[in-house]
Structure 1
């Protein structure tokens, strides 16, 4: 956050100050803070002051996505806001950006898994196995749908949040998507806010239910990295509240009555009396670790919270703790992990020492407001154009006729000197339409979304493929930056999935080490499939492209090729002319069989049939000799 002082006025620049122009965003009684009437949730007692602007920004951006910005402005005091038209332009921009970021498909890849070697190394075999297991997990956990849910939050609000948890019933890690408005990380005050936090809260209010006699409550789920402490078990306190209590110790050793009694330990932990530290060897680490992740799921009745605590300082003695399905009380439950299974996904690369991303609507929000005003004016102008105002003058032939409105098919008889004139507003409507087109082009330029990406270009007027590729240059830079912000986050997500599987001792993951995995996004550019097919075929025919490169080009263009190597084998199995040329060039029938994908068995010399010699005393031999003598005599006579 930066502060700039101009005269006696203080200008504060922060991650959401681009919304300061909105009257509904700021409270006139408390400048710099969200409007209490429009954003009561952001002004809740337990919300930290530094998070109030963020929560208000989330609600305002969500209103734009749902065509409710005018409704929110009315709640902030704008009595004429409901008259404004909202036609879904922000939602269209969000959908377009999200589709381009994700590409046509998302694929989990592990380095070294896709090898063509006939005898892969042990590392390549393990990489292929981990890739297969991760893809099976993604299919069971509906990962593409979860990614769509989170990415829409990230593009719209600037941030998205994943949470992982091991589910014993399903025997796999489950992936949950959370609204970033429930996400409260405790960021270091003297460090880099971009670092991974060591304590994270998910908190939200539960409304009262008068019919069931339930009061308004506050629920908070906390993940915290802390030193490994002695083992605990589920129990109850003096009031009957479910809590976790330390296990009883083993007692003093009779042989060494003066020795220090070690605390109760979780199986596998090691206690060091000289330092009092407890260490644990996690299966994914080379050395022992001294930290673990604790989970707490607590609920408070709002009226029981005294004082003015924020989400990080709520009194645990006034809370009730949830109980997991296996009976474990979620009061500082040791998860046996040395990481927090929460992934914060920023929409953009955060500034240095910042934690939060920026919405894709941030730079164009004022243009959308101008579009809303122009659309409202166009609606009013179209009303007077379709049903124009008409003026009549002169004395009517029938003095009893008094016209209040003109309808289709109406006959008006006017006396001498009478006349009629309609107010033509069609020119104003045309200008407003041009104004709308200019604003749309301006928004697309600022958002770096060319017409070809928005789908507003006329296909009959499409330029050449090269011109289209050049026009996509700003979009290429935008998507590259947004994917950079996501790349290591999804790599971290897949690493956590592997660790949860290995830590749970799942039989399919026995003997497997954590492998570097990535979620690769597909191509987002519009392609001319016919041109790509012709280019690939010509390149292979002329010998300037390999068959592998050509198949890769077709895959990126959107052709239904599931397995590139299998596709290459199918193509080669039908290239008989090239197989004949290969046989003529090498004379190796086995090599030709490998090219065609068929097995060729060479004959064994030991199995060859013996030669058939003529039997002894055959009369054919002397006859042949006589013929030879006659031939020689004949030749001699000629000589």
Structure 2
């Protein structure tokens, strides 16, 4: 009977789009070519890649262009003024905060009297990680990756040891290149044992290069011993007392699209047709043993996993509101055209005749134009200013509703006059939805960045990097700065009073100042400097207090 399919998944909020509705049967819309038309793509990746392309179109003000390709000819005149991009950038700024800092628990006690070797080791590891983050431009790469996570729902990092640089390198990949091999019964939060990074390289007719598919594969498997049935074991630097039978294999190859048969998906590409790439040192990247027992690919999702491996865009709940906003902006632009250049009806005017054609010339209205009207003549002007005012009010209404549903209050978007806020308490209440959104987004990322810093330590150990000790991996975490402006003077007064009265320690006060946005890079060093200055400023014993020679 041709019944429509009702599908609920991580991208069903886009089912109302013709381009996404066509993916319900596994066949992507032609407007989404070539990204999701390739035959080598896994079936379960089609809807995800289609959603990425739609979200990218909204971010670059091309949603109307994409809608026109799917059959909506009127969408070519659609006005798009960057509202989706503003929402994404605002959410990204609040997520990351003003600063990002690497902390290793226990490092703040390294300067204390009688500090143990654990505190000293934590402080040294914290400094190593911070030096690495500065060398690898971690904040800059986080900006690039996290913007994709907020917009598309996912981001991907790749870590690798670089012998030439003597450190671990960090790269970001488009999540559209990320294809994990997930077991049917696996928990969505589990780490996959096989991951592909793959994309299609387009044809270059000028250079005579045909279209090809590149696939980089990381796979966990048993260590090859070459001794038949015996299982090889390896002691890794981070667990020297616990032998492991597992290692990670790397393969990097290309296939000509012409060599792929229909139905051969990404995980089934024929190895006899593969052209494996070679490292600068001549090593062929065909199941290369990386000498590590983990996959150095990190997937970051924008939302907490709830039955899905992939995250959800922050635009998911407001996509239809953004469509309505664009349509209202389009109507407003049309109404403003008739308001600025109104339609005029003339009765009793004599039009000038074209001597060549003998037909009346069209009348044009411009400043200084004078029309001679006959007796009883009349000029009527179509006034659309009232409709324009209603449309502008409608635009503001939709924009406010989109901001509320996206949990980005108007004050966070900078559209509220500070004089309109009755009190600081009212401002704090209005920021409640934003606080909950930022807390949720940071919770989804907390363990991922802890895992990234864990991988950084272990890759340095595996590469025998100078200064990185052998032994268990120390826990480290990435702390985001405050996402909203704070009353720094009030917090400073609170710290001065609290530390002076002995209510809390100097270390706690320094951390409070860091959270408030004061430029304190290292809490431990700041405590040492403050203590040293206080000791040098304290007065010494007076002559009266000194013991006399007679005594």
Q: Alignment partner of 2:186: what SS?
A: coil
For residue 392 of structure 1, report the CA deviation from its aligned partner: 1.6
Pairwise CA distance, 1:369: 0.2
Identify if the C-alpha distance between structure 1 residues 126 and 536 changes in structure 2 by more than 3 Å, giving closer, same or farther.
closer
Cα pair distance change 1:42/1:568, threshold 3 Å: same
TM-score under structure 1 length normalisation = 0.79
How big is the shift at 1:462? 2.9
Q: Is the 8 A contact 2:145 2:156 kept in 1?
A: yes
The 2-side partners of 1:293 and 1:327 are apart by 20
* 1:279 maps onto 2:233 in alignment: yes
Aligned residues of 1:99 and 1:524 also touching (Cα < 8 A): yes
CA distance in 1, matches of 2:522, 2:122: 17
Larger radius of gyration: 1
Q: CA deviation at 1:537?
A: 5.4
Question: 5 Å matches for 1:47-62?
Answer: 47-62=41-56
> Which residue matches 2:291?
336
How far did 1:404 drift? Answer: 1.1
Checking the alignment, whether the CA contact within 8 Å between 2:108 and 2:523 is kept in structure 1 is: no
Secondary structure at the aligned position of 1:60 is classed as: helix
C-alpha distance in 2 between matches for 1:7 and 1:113: 65
- 8 Å Cα contact 1:126-1:512 kept in structure 2: no
Structure 2 unaligned segments of length 5 or more: list them.
355-359
2:187 aligns with 192
1:357 corresponds to = 311
2:268 maps to what in 1?
313
1:94 aligns to 2:53 (yes or no): no
1:38 to 32, 35, 43: 32
> Quick check: 1:186–1:200 contact (8 Å CA) kept in 2?
yes
Alignment partner of 1:293 out of 226, 232, 248: 248
- 1:62-85 Cα offsets, whole Å, 9 max, x none, are 111111111111222222221000
Query: Which among 214, 217, 220 is matched to residue 222 of structure 1?
Result: 217
CA contact (8 A) 2:39 2:262 kept: no
How far apart are the structure 2 equivalents of 1:201 and 1:78? 36
Match of 2:132 among 134, 137, 150: 137
2: CA distance between counterparts of 1:306 and 1:403? Answer: 63
What is the total number of aligned residue pairs between the two structures? 543
Partner of 1:14: 9
**Compared CA separation, residues 16 and 508, structure 1 to 2 (3 A):** same
Contact 1:397 1:415 in 2 (8 A): no
Q: Which runs of 5+ in 1 are unaligned?
A: 1-5, 232-261, 264-274, 575-592, 613-639
Aligned counterpart, 1:212: 207
Query: How big is the shift at 1:213?
Result: 1.5
Deviations 1:120-171 (A, max 9, x none): 1011111001000000000000000111111011011111011111101001
Shift, 1:552, TM fit? 4.0
Q: Structure 1 residues 407 and 502 mapped into 2: Cα distance closer, same or farther (>3 Å)?
A: same
Q: Indicate if the aligned counterparts of 1:16 and 1:57 stay in contact, CA closer than 8 A.
A: yes
Contact 1:24–1:77, Cα closer than 8 Å, also in 2: no
Shift of residue 597 of structure 1? 5.5
Name the counterpart of 1:76: 70
User: Residue deviations 1:583-615, cap 9 Å, x none?
Assistant: xxxxxxxxxx73x56696999xxx988559xxx
Choose from 366, 370, 375 the match for 1:407. Answer: 366
- CA distance 1:230–1:503, shift in 2 (3 Å): same
For the Cα contact (< 8 Å) 1:45–1:308, is it kept in 2? yes
| Displacement after TM superposition at 1:542 (Å) | 7.6
Q: TM-score, normalised by structure 2?
A: 0.92
1:120/1:460 CA distance change after superposition, 3 Å: same
210-219 or 132-141: bigger deviation: 210-219
1:373 aligns with 2:373: no
1:266 aligned partner: none
Tell whether the 8 Å contact from 1:39 to 1:56 is kept in structure 2 after alignment: no
Contact 1:536–1:550 under 8 Å retained in 2: yes
- 1:434-487 CA distances to partner (integer Å, 9 max, x unpaired)? 101110111011111111111111123233222111111111111111111100
Query: CA offsets per residue over residues 230-261 of structure 1, 9 Å max, x none?
Result: 36xxxxxxxxxxxxxxxxxxxxxxxxxxxxxx
